[in-house]
Structure 1
Amino acid sequence: MAFAACAGRDTHTAGAGVQCADMRSLVLIGHGSHLNGESAGAVFRYAELLRERGLYDEVIEGYWKEEPSLRQVLRTTASTDVTVIPMFISEGYFTETVIPRELGLGHQGPVPPEGIARVLGGRTVRYTLPYGVHPGMADVILARAREALPDASPEDTALIVLGHGTTRNENSNKVIYANAERLRQSGLFAEVHALFLDENPKVGTWPDLVHASRVVVVPFFASEGWHTLETIPEDMGLSGEVTEFPGNPHGPQTVYYAKPVGTHAAVADVIMHLAEEARGAAGRDGDVDRTHEAAWQALLNLARRGGRMGEVLLSPHGGVFEVRHALDEGTPGADLHTVVTPEGLRDLSRWDAAGEHRPVHTYRTLKRGWRAVLSEADLRRGIHFLYPAVVEESYAHGCHSLRHTPWATTARRQTGIYTRVQRATPEQVAHVSREVCAPCLRTRLWAGEKLPRTFLDGVPGAFPCAEACTYLVAEIREEVSGKRGKPAGHDH
Structure 2
Amino acid sequence: MRSLVLIGHGSHLNGESAGAVYRYAELIRERGLFDEVVEGYWKEEPSLRQVLKTTASTDVTVIPMFISEGYFTETVIPREMGLGHQGPVPPEGVARVLGGKTVRYTLPYGVHSSMADVILERAREALPDLGDEGTPPTALVVLGHGTTRNENSNRVVYENAERLRHTGLFSEVEALFLDEDPKVGLWPERVRAPRVVVVPFFASEGWHTLETIPEDMGLTGAVTVFPQNPHGTQTVYYARPVGTHARIAEVILQLAEEARGTGGRGGDEDRLHAQAWAAFMTMARRGMRVGEVMITPQLGMFEVRHALDEGIPGGDLTTTVTPEGLRDHTRRDEGGHHRPVHTLRNLPRGWRAVLSETDLPRAMHALYPAIVEEGYAHQQHALRATPWATTARRQTGIYAKVQKATPEQVEHVAEDVCSGCLRTRLWASEQLPRTFFDGVPGAIPCAEACTYLVAEVREEVSGKRGSGSGHSH
Q: Does 1:95 align with 2:73?
A: yes
Partner of 2:418: 437
Distance 2:396 2:264 in 1: 30
CA gap 1:196/1:282 in 2 versus in 1, 3 angstroms: farther
Partner of 1:66: 44
Q: 1:140 aligns with which of 118, 131, 142?
A: 118
Q: Does 1:207 align with 2:188?
A: yes
Aligned residue type for 1:25 = S
Superposition deviation, residue 283 in structure 1: 7.4
Q: Does 1:27 align with 2:5?
A: yes
Q: Does 1:111 align with 2:89?
A: yes
Superposition deviation, residue 485 in structure 1: 3.0
Q: Scaled by the length of structure 1, what TM-score is found?
A: 0.93
Q: Does 1:129 align with 2:102?
A: no
Distance 1:299 1:146 in 2: 50
CA gap 1:229/1:146 in 2 versus in 1, 3 angstroms: same
Partner of 1:4: none
CA gap 1:487/1:250 in 2 versus in 1, 3 angstroms: farther
Q: Does 1:419 align with 2:400?
A: yes
Aligned residue type for 1:208 = E
Partner of 1:391: 372
Distance 2:415 2:324 in 1: 32
Partner of 1:219: 200
Partner of 1:335: 316
Q: Trace 1:140-219 onto structure 2 (pairs within 5 A).
A: 140-153=118-131, 155-219=136-200
Q: Does 1:449 align with 2:430?
A: yes
Q: Is the 8 A contact 2:319 2:352 kept in 1?
A: yes
Superposition deviation, residue 151 in structure 1: 1.0
Q: Does 1:367 align with 2:348?
A: yes
Superposition deviation, residue 285 in structure 1: 3.0
User: Which digits, 9 at most, give the CA deviation of each residue in 1:190-217, with x for residues without a partner?
Assistant: 1100000000000000000000111110
Distance 2:464 2:306 in 1: 36
Distance 2:117 2:222 in 1: 21
Aligned residue type for 1:333 = G
Q: Is the 8 A contact 2:165 2:173 kept in 1?
A: yes
Q: 1:244 aligns with which of 225, 231, 235?
A: 225
Partner of 2:269: 288
Superposition deviation, residue 156 in structure 1: 1.3
Q: Is the 8 A contact 1:126 1:281 kept in 2?
A: no
Distance 1:155 1:238 in 2: 21
Secondary structure at the aligned position of 1:421 is classed as helix
Partner of 2:98: 120
Q: Is the 8 A contact 1:116 1:281 kept in 2?
A: no
User: Which digits, 9 at most, give the CA deviation of each residue in 1:370-397, with x for residues without a partner?
Assistant: 1100001100000000000010000000
Distance 2:21 2:467 in 1: 29
Superposition deviation, residue 299 in structure 1: 1.3
Aligned residue type for 1:250 = H
Distance 1:486 1:96 in 2: 35
The structure with higher relative contact order (CA 8 Å, sep 6+) is 1
Superposition deviation, residue 280 in structure 1: 1.8
Partner of 1:12: none
Secondary structure at the aligned position of 2:143 is classed as strand
Q: 2:29 aligns with which of 47, 51, 57?
A: 51
Distance 2:206 2:14 in 1: 10
CA gap 1:399/1:119 in 2 versus in 1, 3 angstroms: same
Q: 1:467 aligns with which of 445, 448, 462?
A: 448
Distance 2:31 2:351 in 1: 30
CA gap 1:436/1:310 in 2 versus in 1, 3 angstroms: same
Distance 2:419 2:114 in 1: 47
Distance 1:321 1:284 in 2: 34
Following TM superposition, where does structure 1 have runs of at least 4 consecutive aligned residues deviating by more than 6 angstroms?
A: 281-284
How many residue pairs get aligned? The number is: 467
Q: 1:485 aligns with which of 457, 466, 469?
A: 466
Distance 2:262 2:55 in 1: 19
Partner of 2:247: 266
Superposition deviation, residue 152 in structure 1: 2.0
Distance 1:361 1:333 in 2: 24
Identity %: 78
Aligned residue type for 1:400 = H
Distance 1:359 1:62 in 2: 12
User: Which digits, 9 at most, give the CA deviation of each residue in 1:162-194, with x for residues without a partner?
Assistant: 000011111010000000000001111111000
Partner of 1:318: 299
Unaligned runs of 5+ in 1: 1-22
User: Which digits, 9 at most, give the CA deviation of each residue in 1:333-360, with x for residues without a partner?
Assistant: 1111111000001111110111100000
Secondary structure at the aligned position of 1:56 is classed as coil
Distance 1:236 1:282 in 2: 49
Distance 2:143 2:201 in 1: 6
Distance 1:32 1:439 in 2: 21
Superposition deviation, residue 281 in structure 1: 8.6
**RMSD of Structure 2 on Structure 1 (CA):** 1.4
Q: Is the 8 A contact 2:292 2:442 kept in 1?
A: yes
Unaligned runs of 5+ in 2: none
Q: Is the 8 A contact 1:218 1:257 kept in 2?
A: yes
Q: 2:64 aligns with which of 86, 96, 107?
A: 86
User: Which digits, 9 at most, give the CA deviation of each residue in 1:405-424, with x for residues without a partner?
Assistant: 00000000000000000000
